[in-house]
Structure 1
Amino acid sequence: MVNSQVAADFLWPDEAAGALPVSMPCPNCGAPGTKPLLCRSQPAAALSWQLLSCPACGAGFYEDQTVADYGEEGMSAASTTYFLQQGAALGIFADILAHIRKAPGARYVEIGCGFGFGLDAAAHAMGWQARGMDPAALSAVGRQMLGLDITAAYFDPTTVADGSCDIVMATEVLEHLPDPLTFLREIRRGLAADGVAVLTTPDVAAVRPAIAKPVLQATLTVGLHLILQSEASLALLLRRAGFPHVRVTSDGWKLTAFASPLPLDLEEDTARRQAIVIGYLTERAEARPDPDDLYIGFAGRALFEAVCAQDKAAASRIWEKLGPALRARYNIDLDTISAPVLVAGTHDLEELAARMPFNLAAIMLARAYQRLGEGEPRARLLPRFAAIGSVCGPLWTWLETMQIGDMQTRQILWVARAEEALCLAADGRGSALPALAVLPESPTGAGRIGIIDRAIEFLIHAERPFCAIRLARAEGRPQMSLDGNNAGISSVRAFAREAFYRLRQGFRG
């Protein structure tokens, strides 16, 4: 099945009748010649655009390379609350930085640091000397709330001396630049001989019809993004910029790159990185004097990460304060709530912010998995998983209305729906079949078939083989799915761990 929210407003090469390839040099690698169409606007669209593909380097780029006017609009109180609680994806910076083995006191500079969560992680999780550079108004808010060293400056020889940085980070910056190679060479100039550059940027591989439309729109960001990198094109750029040692990885819609003049020595132990992330988020949450927006953001992500890492002690410690905080501020009890706090479509953003945290879906899913990990039967958790979709309906409506990508919330709401069907299957109920029949593909465009296979396994363990056979036949799954011995499907708890790990990987960005 294909996600019902495909990018219907866009035209793809096989749909764009009459669209001709464009002959122009690639702004990313300079390769001349014809560039085929990757995606384009509808003919009647108010803003006309074409995204082209470079056969030489693999990058995607807009035919119009005009740099946008970044005159900034002010953020409302409610949109700031969304950013602090959910939109900034707290913890992602810490996980990325935890890959880098640099001693406390290392010199860290972040370009385009925004509010400053990357700086905060560098200072508190890694113990580095953290300095941020960003002229945006949001940076002034972060400087005040987090007590960070952020200046309204640019990374150039007048502000950063040659070889003066041990780590330079630039998240979601590269795609806005018409000349990314010059930018990367400037980072190389400012790095020490053993320094490490860290980059994140959208993955052009995510530009495909199966991706949920708002997520695709966030990747495209027509009018602001200029060049979308591929794994190959970003690695090529970094090497041309003077980095002989490069690692670029993708989570399906976001690229993360590490580069250095010397061989990379990255932390490969996932458990060690998780410990750093959980410790950082917990410490920052507990440092807040009351359950403000920053506390909700830090604590919610800390609970999520602790459950993901199967750190029961850390999860219990976080929940001991977070649960009462949610009851005190929002009158929400996650172990009993089942109805929306507001009627979808009858509220504005400010009212939504006052009645529920914007990371409520993540907290509810984490709490349900926490209870599963503590031994509560999956079938008994059906009301908890079902409540995620119903309670967070207004949040979903708002995301749709505002066309906000927020892959984390979208994926969580999809997983909650899938979990409802899996709970039915684990309980041996035939109603699992119609629930799975209407389950769409995930917002990422992949994942549904794994849920189907898990459901088949659960039905077999529940001694409902004929239901399992019907499901396998309806979904066109191979007969081997019915033998109960699928690799990687061993138990309910193993599934929970794997599902949560995959979710966490999917939230990078």
Structure 2
Amino acid sequence: MGMYAARRPSSKGKRFMSLVSWLTTPSSTDHSCIVCGNKQGNKIILNALHWHPEHGQLEVARCGGCGSAFTLNARKLITPYPSADMDLQDPYFIYLIYLYLELNAGLGWKIPLLERLPYHRYKSMLEIGCNVGVALDYCRTVWQIDALGLEPSAYGIKGAELLDIPIINAYTHEAEELRNRRFSFIYATEVLEHVSDPLAFLKEIRSYLEPDGVLLITTPCSSSIHKLTTPGELYAILSPGAHYFVLSQKQLRQLSKQAGFLHSVIELNGNTIIAYLSDRPITLESTSSTEMRMTAYYDAKISTEAKLDDRVYLGQLINYYISAVKSNTPFDEHGVSRKIDKIFYRLFKLSFEAPLELAERVNQQTSLFDFGMTVPYSLAIYLYHRAEYLRGIDASTGHYYELAALVAAKSLQVDFKSQFLNHYFLKQAQRQIQSMPARSRNSSQTSVQLREITDTITATIPELKNPSLNTLSKIRRRFKSLLNRWQQ
């Protein structure tokens, strides 16, 4: 994800279902394509609500030449997100940071992209639009490389502070620190679509590369803009008012040539174009287990003596536990779970040994921010994997499955879009509960009460009421993509 990965939910409470409307018959426009300048055969295909609803509907056209999609009058209508100063003054902003860190910032799909590179040859890297800087920190920690990030939003400021990593709070053309510098590797994920002149941007990035350096970029693909794409997914691809355009694979290849790159590997994965660009032939390698690499990263983070924010350290402990269980990596499970228990109690005054008290506190929360003040955003995922570990060694799983289901359900109720991954863990936890013998399942009054609370919560979640809803289809497809992406 780039610099705009997590934003505050709209106060309007509008659902994605109503945010995009297709034209029955595409209409011609004489507006030039923002990307290639073509004026022939351009058609307005849909209207989409600006991310800031007060700005109304935007018209989106498809280029008859390069096949990219672009917003009409984009240079006038693109609206910047709140300034870094404004976000930093917002007392709730820190919880968006915790959300991003605790759900590991997309490392599950970024690591396989990064690990295809011959990184052992690299001496330095630059990540443009690094957000909080988790992928940057991964490269610095695991690759042992000189790493620098560039992030003009408040996410970069807080990331530099919380992870103790070098992030410049500026755009490329403003950063004095980049003058006369060259890097072995540059990484920019979901950034290109946010710039008004993609060719100039690619040329600028190329100027920061060493002669044998590699640029890795990801960007949404225009081939995903069609009526079969679910509304939520489509709206995320378009990001009206934030994205100037959505490139075609063909046009990205053309832009890379125009920018001077002599070699490219450009692939399509789901809705995303992945491009490795260089002046010399690019050799991509097979990747090792993503979960094992994540385990190594989080192991290094929790082993460091650097003083970290307690909440950040707890999130890293939880992510280490989860990735170690998923990768079957031997670890001191008892020691790590005890650390998690202690920090969890210290920060939230809650205990896993008092499941009904925990359930009651969680169930009282009504917003994404209230939820994050009460428990970590990754709690349901941790509880599920804790139960899986205990079941795997034939130990009692206690109330971990029931709590995992309850916390997951509540997270979906307060903000389905931001925490949609918990839908998978809700279903998995419920499946494990149902697989227990009926006598065992109903022997504990606490278990019965926890399941009743969960059922009450899930009954109020619109996205779960009708399995044919587009939103639910989107969640299932997205999660499947996250599970399978780039696995060898």
For 2:195 and 2:118, how far apart are their aligned partners in 1? 29
Matching residue's letter, 1:41 = A
Q: CA deviation at 1:362?
A: 2.8
2:473 maps to 445
Matching residue's letter, 2:172 = F
Give aligned-pair identity as a percent.
20
CA contact (8 A) 2:261 2:277 kept: yes
2:311 maps to 293
1:486 maps to none
Structure 1 unaligned blocks of 5 or more: 429-434, 450-498
Matching of residue 411 in structure 1 with residue 441 in structure 2? no
Matching of residue 149 in structure 1 with residue 166 in structure 2? yes
* Residues 441-494 of structure 1, C-alpha deviations (whole Å, 9 max, x = no match): 785736869xxxxxxxxxxxxxxxxxxxxxxxxxxxxxxxxxxxxxxxxxxxxx
Q: CA deviation at 1:260?
A: 1.9
Q: Normalising to structure 2: TM-score of the pair?
A: 0.73
60-69 or 314-323, which deviates more: 314-323
340-349 or 359-368, which deviates more: 340-349
Q: Secondary structure of the equivalent of 1:49?
A: strand
Q: Secondary structure of the equivalent of 1:392?
A: helix
For 2:122 and 2:201, how far apart are their aligned partners in 1? 26
Q: Secondary structure of the equivalent of 2:47?
A: strand
235-244 or 367-376, which deviates more: 367-376
Q: CA deviation at 1:176?
A: 0.8
* Residues 247-271 of structure 1, C-alpha deviations (whole Å, 9 max, x = no match): 3445534444322222223331232
Matching of residue 80 in structure 1 with residue 94 in structure 2? yes
Instruction: Please report the RMSD computed on the Cα atoms of aligned residues, expressed in angstroms.
Output: 4.3
Q: CA deviation at 1:221?
A: 2.5
After TM superposition, list the pairs within 5 Å mapping 1:231-380 onto structure 2: 231-271=249-289, 273-287=290-304, 289=307, 292-313=310-331, 318-332=336-350, 337=355, 340-342=359-361, 347=366, 350-371=369-390, 373-374=392-393
2:30 maps to 23
Give the paired residue count. 438
2:220 maps to 202
CA contact (8 A) 1:108 1:166 kept: yes
For 2:352 and 2:480, how far apart are their aligned partners in 1? 22
CA contact (8 A) 1:166 1:196 kept: yes
For 1:333 and 1:345, how far apart are their aligned partners in 2? 16
Q: Secondary structure of the equivalent of 1:74?
A: helix
Q: Normalising to structure 1: TM-score of the pair?
A: 0.71
Q: CA deviation at 1:155?
A: 2.8
2:183 to 159, 162, 165: 165
1:190 maps to 208
Q: CA deviation at 1:62?
A: 1.1
For 2:336 and 2:284, how far apart are their aligned partners in 1? 29
For 2:471 and 2:332, how far apart are their aligned partners in 1? 30
Matching residue's letter, 1:239 = K
CA contact (8 A) 2:71 2:244 kept: yes
CA contact (8 A) 1:108 1:128 kept: yes
Cα gap change, 1:302 to 1:159, in 2 (>3 Å): same
2:116 maps to 99
Q: Secondary structure of the equivalent of 1:82?
A: helix
For 1:100 and 1:286, how far apart are their aligned partners in 2? 26
Cα gap change, 1:306 to 1:42, in 2 (>3 Å): same
* Residues 74-123 of structure 1, C-alpha deviations (whole Å, 9 max, x = no match): 24343313323436733615554333223376121122333332332222
1:399 to 404, 415, 420: 415
Q: Secondary structure of the equivalent of 2:34?
A: coil
2:43 maps to 36
For 1:292 and 1:503, how far apart are their aligned partners in 2? 28
* Residues 10-50 of structure 1, C-alpha deviations (whole Å, 9 max, x = no match): 3443xx34652333332223333223344313799861212
Cα gap change, 1:440 to 1:108, in 2 (>3 Å): same
Q: CA deviation at 1:215?
A: 5.1
Cα gap change, 1:236 to 1:425, in 2 (>3 Å): farther
Structure 2 unaligned blocks of 5 or more: 1-13, 439-458
1:466 maps to none
Matching residue's letter, 2:386 = R
Q: Secondary structure of the equivalent of 2:293?
A: helix
1:49 maps to 58
Matching residue's letter, 2:27 = L
Cα gap change, 1:276 to 1:177, in 2 (>3 Å): same
Q: Secondary structure of the equivalent of 2:371?
A: helix
Q: Secondary structure of the equivalent of 2:260?
A: coil
For 1:370 and 1:64, how far apart are their aligned partners in 2? 54
